[in-house]
C-alpha cells in the first residue's frame, strides 16, 4: 500500500483561490463589464468619418478576452454591453430630428443580436481553432440582423468600417461577409496569440497546434487581403462616361425641408443650369448624363405640370438625360422613384426603390407607435410601396445601376444591379434629415466598399452632401462639402467584368452561417458529453 502525502504549503494546488472580498472584489467583478462596453466604444471609433479602421482589431481582441470561457448568462450580459458601447454612439444620428426615443429603442433592439453573438462566441471559445468559429458566429449575427426585424438593419456591419483599411480588397472576394469575417478573425487571433504567449511564459509549455491556429488566424486574413489586390482595378473595360452629379442643397436641414419641396426642386434645377452655363463657357466638360439625388423633386412631376416644366427646362439646358429622384403616386401607391428625363423625349425610364426604410418610409406597428407618439404617425401618414425590379438605366448604351440611399446597406440590392448589366452604380441619397451627423460619412464608406466589391465606379449624388465620385478601387476622386450647392463632373471607367463576390452572391454568407451553426453545435455537444461523464 502506497500513501501519497500532499503538502499543505501549496494550498493553491488543492482548491481555487478565493475571489477577493469586500470593495476590491466588487470592483474586480465589474472589470469585464466595463471592458466589454469600452471595447464596443473602441469599435465605434474605428468607423468613419475617422480613418482608424485598425482599432477594430484590439476591439475584438478585448471582446474575446471578456467572453472566453464565460457562462452563457455572463456572455449574454457582456455581449449586450459591447453592443451598447458600439451602437449607441454609432446610431446617434437616428435621433437627430425625432428625439432620443427612436434612437434608444433601435439600439436596445439591435444590441440584443450582439448579446446573442456573445453567447455563441463564449460557447465556441472552448473549441480547437476557436477564433475561426467565433468570427463565423459574428458574421452569422450580422446576417440575421440584416434581415430581421422589419426587413433588417445592416448598419454597423464590420465591413463598412474598413473602407480605408488593408482588408478592403477582400470585399471583391466574398463581399461584406468575407471582409467582416477577416477583420473579426484577425482580432480574435491576436487575442489568442497573446494568451498563448502569456501561458508559455507562465508555464513554459507550448501548445503547438493552438499556437499555429492563432498565428494563422492573423496571417491568413492579411495574406488574403494582399493577394486580393489583384482583383481591384479602375481600368475601363467598355469605354468611359463623363458623368455629372448635382447637389442642389436644401433650404434648411431637418424634416421641415419637405414642406419646402418646390425650393428643393428649384435648387437642383438652378445648379444644373449653372453647370450648363459653365459647359458653354468651357469651364466644365459636357457630361453624357446628369444624376440628381433622392428627393430632388418631392413634387410629383407626373401630377404637377409646373414641376415637370422645371425638370424639362433643366434637361434641355444641359442637353443630356437627367436622372431625377422623385416622390410619385401611381394607382394609389406612393413610390420613391428615380426618373430618367430625356431632354427631347421627357421621362423614359423609372426605378422604384425596393428596400424602403422602416420608421422612415414605412411605419411598422403603426397603431402602437401612434399610441406612444401621435406626431410620428402624422409625419409618416402614408407608407411608401416597394418596387419590384432592379434599377438599371440604359443611357445611350451606358448601363447605370441604381441603389437608392438606404439600399446601399443591403448586399442584394447593390449586387443585382451588376448582375443585370450595370457598368457603373449610382447611389442617389438624401441625408438632409440627419443634419451634419456622421451618418453621411458612414453611408459614403458603404459605397466605397460596394465599389471594390463589384469593381464598379460608384457615384453618390446627395441633396445636401457629401456627394462624391468613387473609383472601382474605392478611392474618392471628387467630393463636395455639406449643405452647399455644388456640381461634380468627371470621366469615369465603365466596367463589365465581375468579381468573385458578384458571382458568388450570398454563398459566402451561407457558408459562414453554417460554420457558425456547426461550431455552436460542436460546443454544445461537447459540453453535454462532459456533463454526462461528470455525472457518471
Residues assigned a catalytic role = 294, 353, 405
Choose among 337, 376, 339: nearest CA to 360.
376
Burial level of 375, CB count in 10 A (0-12/13-18/19+)?
A: exposed
Q: What is the side-by-side order of every strand in the sheet holding 333-342?
A: 346-352, 333-342, 322-330, 289-291, 240-247, 486-493
User: How is 72-91 classified by DSSP, letter by letter?
Assistant: HHHHHHHHHHHHHHHHHHHT
282 neighbors 504 (Cβ within 8 angstroms) = no
C-alpha cell at 359: 420608421
> DSSP 3-state assignment of 458?
strand
Cβ contact 196:210 at 8 Å: yes
Ramachandran region, residue 399 (left: φ > 0; alpha: ψ -120 to 50; beta: rest)? beta
First to last CA, the chain: 27
Closest by Cα among 441, 457, 465, 453 to 501: 453
Strand partners, 468: 460, 479
- Coil, strand or helix: which one is 399? strand
Residue pair 401/351 in contact (Cβ under 8 Å)? The answer is no
* DSSP code of residue 119: H
User: Facing residues of 347 across strands?
Assistant: 341
- The answer to whether the CB of 455 falls within 8 A of the CB of 175 is no
Helices (H), 91-244: 100-124, 130-145, 171-203, 208-228
Instruction: Go through the chain and tell me how many residues it has.
Output: 536
Amino acid at each position: 500500500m502506497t500513501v501519497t502525502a500532499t503538502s499543505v504549503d501549496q494550498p493553491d494546488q488543492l482548491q481555487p483561490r478565493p475571489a477577493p472580498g469586500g470593495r476590491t472584489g466588487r470592483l474586480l467583478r465589474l472589470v469585464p463589464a466595463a471592458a466589454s462596453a469600452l471595447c464596443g466604444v473602441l469599435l465605434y471609433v474605428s468607423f468613419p468619418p475617422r480613418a482608424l479602421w485598425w482599432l477594430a482589431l484590439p476591439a475584438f481582441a478585448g471582446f474575446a478576452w471578456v467572453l472566453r470561457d464565460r457562462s452563457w448568462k455572463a456572455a449574454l450580459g457582456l455581449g449586450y454591453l459591447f453592443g451598447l458601447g458600439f451602437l449607441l454612439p454609432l446610431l446617434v444620428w437616428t435621433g437627430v430630428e425625432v428625439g432620443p426615443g427612436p434612437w434608444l429603442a433601435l439600439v436596445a433592439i439591435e444590441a440584443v443580436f450582439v448579446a446573442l453573438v456573445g453567447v455563441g462566441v463564449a460557447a465556441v471559445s472552448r473549441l480547437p481553432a476557436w477564433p475561426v468559429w467565433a468570427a463565423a458566429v459574428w458574421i452569422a449575427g450580422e446576417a440575421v440582423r440584416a434581415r430581421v426585424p422589419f426587413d433588417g438593419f445592416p448598419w454597423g456591419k464590420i465591413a463598412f468600417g474598413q473602407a480605408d483599411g488593408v482588408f478592403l480588397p477582400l470585399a471583391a472576394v466574398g463581399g461584406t461577409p468575407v471582409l467582416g469575417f477577416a477583420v473579426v478573425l484577425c482580432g480574435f487571433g491576436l487575442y489568442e496569440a497573446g494568451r498563448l504567449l502569456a501561458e508559455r511564459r507562465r508555464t513554459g509549455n507550448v501548445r503547438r497546434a493552438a499556437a499555429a491556429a492563432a498565428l494563422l488566424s492573423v496571417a491568413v486574413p492579411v495574406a488574403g487581403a494582399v493577394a486580393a489586390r489583384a482583383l481591384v482595378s479602375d481600368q475601363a473595360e467598355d469605354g468611359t462616361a463623363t458623368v455629372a452629379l448635382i447637389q442642389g442643397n436644401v433650404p434648411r436641414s431637418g424634416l421641415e425641408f419637405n414642406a419646402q419641396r418646390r425650393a428643393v426642386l428649384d435648387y437642383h434645377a438652378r445648379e444644373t443650369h449653372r453647370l450648363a452655363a459653365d459647359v458653354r463657357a468651357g469651364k466644365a466638360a459636357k457630361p453624357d448624363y446628369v444624376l440628381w439625388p433622392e428627393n430632388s423633386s418631392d413634387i410629383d412631376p407626373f401630377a404637377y405640370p409646373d414641376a415637370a416644366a422645371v425638370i424639362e427646362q433643366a434637361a434641355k439646358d444641359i442637353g443630356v438625360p437627367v436622372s431625377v429622384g422623385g416622390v410619385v403616386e401611381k394607382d394609389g401607391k406612393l413610390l420613391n422613384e428615380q426618373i430618367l428625363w430625356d431632354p427631347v423625349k421627357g421621362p423614359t425610364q423609372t426605378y422604384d426603390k425596393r428596400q424602403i426604410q422602416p420608421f422612415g418610409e414605412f411605419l411598422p406597428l403603426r397603431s402602437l407607435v401612434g399610441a406612444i407618439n401621435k406626431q410620428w404617425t402624422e409625419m409618416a401618414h402614408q407608407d411608401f410601396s416597394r418596387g419590384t425590379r432592379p434599377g438599371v438605366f440604359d443611357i445611350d448604351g451606358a448601363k447605370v445601376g441604381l441603389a437608392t440611399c438606404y439600399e446601399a446597406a443591403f448586399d442584394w440590392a447593390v449586387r443585382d444591379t451588376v448582375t443585370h448589366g450595370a457598368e457603373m452604380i449610382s447611389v442617389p441619397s438624401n441625408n438632409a434629415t440627419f443634419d451634419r451627423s456622421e451618418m453621411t460619412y458612414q453611408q459614403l464608406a458603404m459605397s466605397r466598399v460596394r465599389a471594390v466589391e463589384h469593381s464598379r465606379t460608384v457615384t453618390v449624388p446627395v441633396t445636401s452632401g457629401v456627394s462624391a465620385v468613387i473609383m472601382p478601387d474605392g478611392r474618392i476622386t471628387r467630393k463636395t462639402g455639406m449643405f452647399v450647392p455644388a456640381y461634380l463632373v468627371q470621366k469615369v471607367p465603365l466596367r463589365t467584368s465581375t468579381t468573385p463576390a458578384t458571382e458568388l452572391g450570398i454563398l459566402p454568407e451561407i457558408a459562414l452561417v453554417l460554420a457558425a451553426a456547426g461550431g455552436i453545435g460542436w460546443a454544445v455537444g461537447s459540453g453535454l458529453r462532459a456533463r454526462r461523464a461528470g455525472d457518471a
